[in-house]
A and B are shown apart, each in its own frame.
Chain A
Amino acid sequence: AQSVTQLGSHVSVSEGALVLLRCNYSSSVPPYLFWYVQYPNQGLQLLLKYTSAATLVKGINGFEAEFKKSETSFHLTKPSAHMSDAAEYFCAVSSPSNDYKLSFGAGTTVTVRA
């Protein structure tokens, strides 16, 4: 079985401040991990993915995430928040043992204060 837990359903940051979104996973085999972003009334867009290469993954819009096997975590960060980062963010996991089916966390809503 595989699952993800996103800590914090809502994060509020000031423009220019660090964005940190937490994700912990459980998987019986080495997982593939993803972060998706969803803007209001839109579908999901891939931010970045971990596929067993480098543990520090860089994505679009200045986001990056680090895979830490010992902590079973895949936290998402951005050094300096921009107003356009206001959206909902989803962590997701897949693995060969589950035929690569993507399982999503409950999501974290990010608001950016001017």
Chain B
Amino acid sequence: DAGVTQSPTHLIKTRGQQVTLRCSPKSGHDTVSWYQQALGQGPQFIFQYYEEEERQRGNFPDRFSGHQFPNYSSELNVNALLLGDSALYLCASSLAGPNTGELFFGEGSRLTVL
């Protein structure tokens, strides 16, 4: 049973560029959440996608956008990159409906902005 997979694992961009990160959820899961983890900090919630729509959003600017596809996979897009966007971006999947909020995480995509 495949877990959550993310790509790429590492990437380097320069300020002002745009980046797209990809995520495939755990088999059977239909909801994808994205988190940003800056160095030495806990993960911060960016947004969550269900049924191809953004269902919840954290305190992140509009430069951060996402998409969910019919097969439940998801993309995170960040425009006009800033140095402060350097972080580990974690994708997590879960099942919609009444649940506890337990998430299954991927290994993350480490973004470095120069």
Chain A positions 65-114 with a Cβ under 8 Å from a chain B Cβ? 90, 94-95, 99-107
Question: Is residue B1 within 8 Å, beta carbon to beta carbon, of the partner chain?
Answer: no
Interface string of B41-81 (1 = CB under 8 A from A): 11111001000000110000000000000000000000000
Chain A positions 39-72 with a Cβ under 8 Å from a chain B Cβ? 41-46, 49, 51
Docked-complex contact A32 and B100, CB < 8 angstroms = yes
* Contact count A vs B, C-beta below 8 Å: 57
- State the A residues within 8 Å of B (CB): 32, 34, 36, 41-46, 49, 51, 90, 94-95, 99-107
Pick the contact of B107: A43, A49, A99 (CB < 8 A).
Answer: A43
Q: A43-B107, A44-B90 are in contact. Are A100 and B41 (CB under 8 A)?
A: no
Q: A43-B105, A43-B108, A99-B56 are in contact. Are A104 and B43 (CB under 8 A)?
A: yes
Q: A42-B107, A44-B90 are in contact. Are A49 and B102 (CB under 8 A)?
A: yes
Docked-complex contact A44 and B43, CB < 8 angstroms = yes
Report Cα–Cα, A51/B102, bound state, in Å: 10
Closest to A91 in B: B42
Pick the contact of B42: A34, A94, A101, A104 (CB < 8 A).
Answer: A104
Closest to A4 in B: B42
- State the B residues within 8 Å of A (CB): 4, 33, 35, 40-45, 48, 55-56, 90, 92, 99-108
Docked-complex contact A94 and B107, CB < 8 angstroms = no
Pick the contact of A94: B43, B101, B108 (CB < 8 A).
Answer: B101
Report Cα–Cα, A51/B100, bound state, in Å: 7
Q: Which residues of A contact B107 (CB under 8 A)?
A: 41-43
Docked-complex contact A34 and B102, CB < 8 angstroms = yes
Shortest CB-to-CB span from B4 to chain A, Å, is 8
Report Cα–Cα, A36/B35, bound state, in Å: 14
Given A94-B100, A102-B101, 14 more A-B residue pairs with CB atoms under 8 Å apart are A32-B102, A36-B105, A42-B108, A43-B106, A43-B107, A44-B43, A46-B102, A51-B100, A90-B42, A90-B43, A100-B99, A101-B45, A102-B92, A105-B42
